Structure 1
Amino acid sequence: MALILSQLFISLILSLFFSLTLLPHATTSKANSSSEYSITSIFNVTAANHKTSQILSFKPFHNQEEFPQTFSSSSSFKLKLYPAASLYNTHHQHKNYYSLDLNASLNPGITTGTSNFLVQIGVGGPPQKFYMIFDLQTDFTWLQCQPCIKCYDQPDSIFDPSQSSSYTLLSCETKHCNLLPNSSCSDDGYCRYNITYKDGTNTEGVLINETVSFESSGWVDRVSLGCSNKNQGPFVGSDGTFGLGRGSLSFPSRINASSMSYCLVESKDGYSSSTLEFNSPPCSGSVKAKLLQNPKAENLYYVGLKGIKVGGEKIDVPNSTFTIDPYGNGGMIVSSSSLITMLENDTYNVVRDAFVAKTQHLERLKAFLQFDTCYNLSSNNTVELPILEFEVNDGKSWLLPKESYLYAVDKNGTFCFAFAPSKGSFSILGTLQQYGTRVTFDLVNSFVYLHTLCCN
């Protein structure tokens, strides 16, 4: 058991900093289209193992960037996203927020949502800075507040309302209070909430309006969010949850954002150039897919894909894989909590088999945890892998980032196919497969834009 936990710990750390090096056979000016590209790529095993060794010796830091004390508002906002492990201060005694369960299935709309990434915001006037969970699966934004009844250990000082001139309690008669599940009135007429997620985690507090600031790019007044003073759950390592779902309580809805865009990027020493943006246009040359909505989970983002190709060949997958039926089954959820992509069981089997058929030249190993297809690349400097892509529309495809095909589970050259079967009747687009891609949600016209060369 100790060995398994040790291996799992290593794989989780690698998920936050893993950056493989692939040398393509041929280049193309159409990075997001399948019209001109090589159907294989050369995987640099030596470089990948060297990177893994660097990761395992990584010394985390705790970012000390300060917000300016004065702000000017703007029509668009840009924030940095930080890999969770990079913000862990080794002098702190609490655990880091990279303890996600790779074997857990995503329950649409009813889990707290863990994340590989945190976002830094300022709350109050003057702003107090906090690292919040980057969460696409939930709507409600909340942070821990004084006075605490039951608070977990967090990296930063807990929000102190007495130090903010913009702090306002909301009445239980307000529209926002009525939108909250299990809301109630306090004795003095203010809105209280008690939210319990399906995994048993819980947060309680009062609903407030506050000023939320975005590093140096601006601020928004009177944003409704939760001021929690009683919490129970695996929130350790963050100061709260930044709810970015599609529901009416989510942060994008509260600021009337026309678009939301993010890019997850791995970089050396844990410092990330990952960003989260609101009201920014999609990158020129992006491939466009429909942003679908599930009638049974309206707060989730579903990307409307058309098919899958492995090594240039279209794979025959069930028609239900990427469509959503009236009962809420099917479709692919864009996730910030699942590390790897999970495909509906039948779809996963045919995609995996197609990948295996095109990697017969590689030495297979036994399964590792949820990974059923693993390879021994310890004696290889480079190997050839088939290109993987998702079909979008009009014959165009999104070529998955090459570093997302295989996943290193140790530093000895063991790599596994970085996909797994879903535990439910839906698929999940994991963060590993999103690395290096600018994902833009057009919240007005319901489209998703994907671009692999637009993260800087």
Structure 2
Amino acid sequence: MSLSLFFSLTTPFHHTSNATSSSEFTTSIFNVTSAIHQIRQVLPFHHQEEEETQFSSLSSSSSFKLKLYPIESLFTAHPQHKLDYRSLVLTRLKHDSTRVSRIRSKIQPEFLSGDVFTGITHGTNDYIVKIGVGRPPQFFYMIFDIETDVTWLQCQPCLHCYEQPDSIFDPSLSSSYTLISCETKRCNLLKNSSCSVDGYCKYKISYNDDSYTAGIFVNETISFESSGWVNRVSLGCGHLNKGAFVGSAGTFGLGRGPFSFLSRINVSSMSYCLVDRNWVYSSATLEFNSPSSSSYNNDNSFKAKLLKNPKMESLYYVGFTGVSVGSERITIPNSTFTIDPYGNGGMIVSTGTIITRLETQAYNAVRDAFVAKTQHLERAKALYPFDTCYSLTTKNTIELPMMGFEVNDGKMWLLPKESYLYAVDNNGTFCFAFGPSEGPFSILGSFQQYGTRVTFDLTNSIISLHTLYCS
């Protein structure tokens, strides 16, 4: 039986208004007591049922909106696997390191590292979206993934499958299920494709942590709650699956490559707004063909170039030009935000990695500047991947240096003050919410994106950041 979820947004996000230079805003006040109180409300998780909806066909000009949920919402079906907050953090951090390793293996194929986590007892750091597969639709919760192209889900007959709360997709119940011949151009373009004994396209996707999915590549109808449906979407029907997918039915691929769902519907833009994953009572939103940036409050809107890595076509890169801590513009290598001919450098936008990672040299400079401006705070023991932590048990509020990324001609996107420190327990231990990537790339993590509508203008190659716009 499918899970059904509905949450209302409960936590507003504060963001200082637009600044033309980093010197106009240098410090902010962080409410420690409020943060600890909110953390102590995290568990247990609950959900509510949604109403049934009707469907209509979607076109490339259609504008439609979906709900995104923190993946911990899936734990509601397995109360025996609920975790205390400290254990939840440790699990998240393990998966954060695994996700960084996956990204690194894409950029450096010779790099292999990481442990595989299986079963629903281990959370990932993703968001999920509810989609229907087939006609009539069978509904599933799929991982929302902007770092991969291919959409896939577990299918019957399931020769080897991980645990998922939804029933597994049954192709025999769908009138729109169509096999793809291995002689087609689409099959030949698919990486690691092969041909079955009866001439149909087979796929396999392997990850560096020993996770994988393999099966038949097919065309199917995809539908989205009340938003409509799309025919002949190519996706993987996985009969052999293993890995850290935490009970979701599979992955909904929204990368920039030719097999992405975005290529099938040929939309002009995609945007999302992420809520804090601790608040599983809340839903985030995912939009296609959303309004232009002129529809938002310009005082809280920032634009940067949307860069593309020719070696990693599926990934989205944001064209930041600098970073500031307090009134100080940090000196960092040019490679931090630019992509060289070999595919190294640049900042990847990620929804599955929590903590923002910077190339090691850049991270060290940013961290040292933050530490220099927080000498008044008591330090705590480090917790990997964090190397800078604080004990704030006795504090009600603290003063922190404002942090921001330069987006255009000195204009700064000032990060919400809630995104500077990450709580690692519910007793007042917080860590600097950035880390080294330990590779030739940087990652803009989801924690720094909370409460900001991120819009990819795919036609004009622009990424827009709209703060205080999460409706």
TM-score by length of 2: 0.86
Q: Percent identity?
A: 65
Provide the rounded CA distance (Å) in 1 between the counterparts of 2:47 and 2:14: 34
Match of 2:239 among 229, 239, 244: 229
Q: 2:354 aligns with which of 339, 349, 371?
A: 339
State the AA in 2 paired with 1:253.
S
Output the amino acid matched with 1:409: V
CA contact (8 A) 2:380 2:389 kept: yes
Match of 1:382 among 388, 397, 406: 397
Q: Distance in 1 between matches of 2:288 and 2:12?
A: 31
| Structure 1: unaligned runs, 5 residues or longer | 1-18
Matches within 5 A, 1:146-295: 146-266=156-276, 270-284=280-294, 285=298, 286-295=301-310
Structure 1 residues 71, 121: CA separation in 2 closer, same or farther (over 3 Å shift)? same
Q: CA offsets per residue over residues 396-422 of structure 1, 9 Å max, x none?
A: 111112211001111111111000111
SS at 1:101's partner residue?
Answer: helix
Over 3 Å counting, the alpha-carbon distance change for 1:66 and 1:208 in structure 2 is farther
CA contact 1:308–1:390 (8 Å) conserved in 2: yes
2:432 is aligned with 1:417 = yes
Deviation at 1:273, TM superposition (A): 2.9
CA positional deviation for 1:261: 0.6
Contact kept? 1:109, 1:137, Cα under 8 Å? no
Once the two structures are TM-superposed, the CA of residue 102 in structure 1 deviates from its matched residue by 3.1
CA contact (8 A) 1:34 1:398 kept: no
Specify which of 128, 133, 152 is matched with residue 123 of structure 1. Answer: 133
Of 76, 96, 100, the residue aligned with 2:63 is 76
Question: Separation in 1 of the partners of 2:366 and 2:310?
Answer: 28
Task: Say whether residues 1:103 and 2:97 are aligned partners.
Answer: yes
User: How far apart are the structure 2 equivalents of 1:36 and 1:355?
Assistant: 15
Deviation of the 1:62 alpha carbon: 4.9
Matched, 1:60 2:45: yes
Moved more, 402-411 or 66-75: 66-75
Residues 1:47 and 2:34 aligned together: yes
Counterpart code for 2:44: K
State the SS of the aligned residue for 1:403.
Answer: helix
CA contact (8 A) 2:23 2:326 kept: no
Deviations 1:84-107 (CA, angstroms, capped at 9, x unpaired):
112322447779997552334344
Deviates more, 1:116-125 or 1:258-267: 258-267
Against the structure 1 CA distance between its residues 395 and 91, is the aligned structure 2 distance closer, same or farther, given a 3 Å change threshold? Answer: closer
Q: CA deviation digits over 1:431-451, x for unaligned, max 9? A: 101111111111122111111
Change (3 A) 1:64 1:188: farther
Alignment of 1:311-322 (within 5 A): 311-322=326-337
TM-score with structure 1 length normalisation? 0.88
Query: Hey, what's the Cα distance between the residues in 1 that align with 2:373 and 2:247?
Result: 41
Q: CA RMSD in A?
A: 2.6
User: In 1, distance between residues paired with 2:164 and 2:82?
Assistant: 9
Structure 2 residues not aligned, in runs of 5+ = 1-9, 107-115, 118-123
Give the paired residue count.
Answer: 432
Q: Does 1:132 align with 2:127?
A: no
Cα distance between partner residues in 1 of 2:133 and 2:51:
13
Change (3 A) 1:181 1:390: same
SS of the equivalent of 2:226 reads coil
What's the CA shift string for 1:293-340, capped at 9, x where partnerless? 112212111111000011132111111110111111111011122110
Give the Cα–Cα distance (whole angstroms) in 2 for the partners of residues 373 and 208 of structure 1. Answer: 48
Question: How far does residue 267 in structure 1 lie from its aligned partner after superposition?
Answer: 8.0
Does the residue aligned with 1:54 lie in a helix, a strand or coil? Answer: coil
Cα gap change, 1:204 to 1:430, in 2 (>3 Å):
same
1:364 aligns with 379
Task: For CA contacts below 8 A with separation 6 or more, give which structure has more relative contact order.
Answer: 2
- Write the distance in 2 (CA, Å) between the matches of 1:357 and 1:34: 21
Cα gap change, 1:36 to 1:437, in 2 (>3 Å)? farther
Identify if the C-alpha distance between structure 1 residues 224 and 22 changes in structure 2 by more than 3 Å, giving closer, same or farther: closer
CA–CA distance in structure 1, aligned partners of residues 418 and 267 of structure 2: 32
